[in-house]
Amino acid sequence: MAKNPYAKTIGYELMHVARLHRARAAQLLAELGLFPGQEQVLNLLAAGDGRTMGDLASELRVRPPTASKTVARLAAQGLVERRTTNGDGRVVRVDLTPEGRLRAAAVDAVWARLETEAIEGFDGKERKRLKKLLRKMGKNVAGRLGAPVDETPVEDAPDDELE
């Protein structure tokens, strides 16, 4: 069988690692009864409760119907509550329930575990260098897409708790 001609490229390795990372995240999130993407909603609400559906869609960079479907699934699990604002049915605010707060904290532990697993064997200098290179690569690609670029230098970004 012929080997993939792209197998020696950085892009191939990046996509391969990203897929593995996503699969491992899905595996760990499943232990919490969550699907990938749901943890992002819990994380945003834990950072600032009472967000509108529009705010959530914007922050998640998804269309409002996608955010609405995710919130509906989380509401069915009792993790979030949807409320209309001042009797205006057009504006729906989403809040975490007490169980949602517990699950959001558990998600933080999952992400910390995933990070620890992914960078096992890396020293602090290697972690910082990798982060810097990935940011630079992201900036290159975002620039070609005309997408917003995170301008925070790695040196000014919060340090990993693992260092």
CB atoms within 10 A of CB 74: 24
pLDDT band at 88 (very low <50, low <70, confident <90, very high): low
Q: In 56-131, where do the E strands start and end?
A: 80-85, 88-96
pTM: predicted TM-score of the whole model, two decimal places: 0.77
Q: Which residues pair with 92 in a beta bridge?
A: 84
Cα separation of 112 and 118, whole Å? 10
In the 8-state DSSP scheme, what is residue 35? Answer: -
pLDDT digits (tens, 9 = 90+) for 116-128: 999 999 999 999 9
Q: Residue 25: which of 91, 110, 97 has the closest Cα? A: 110
Q: What is the pLDDT of residues 93-144, one digit of tens each?
A: 999 999 999 999 999 999 999 999 999 999 999 999 999 999 999 999 989 9
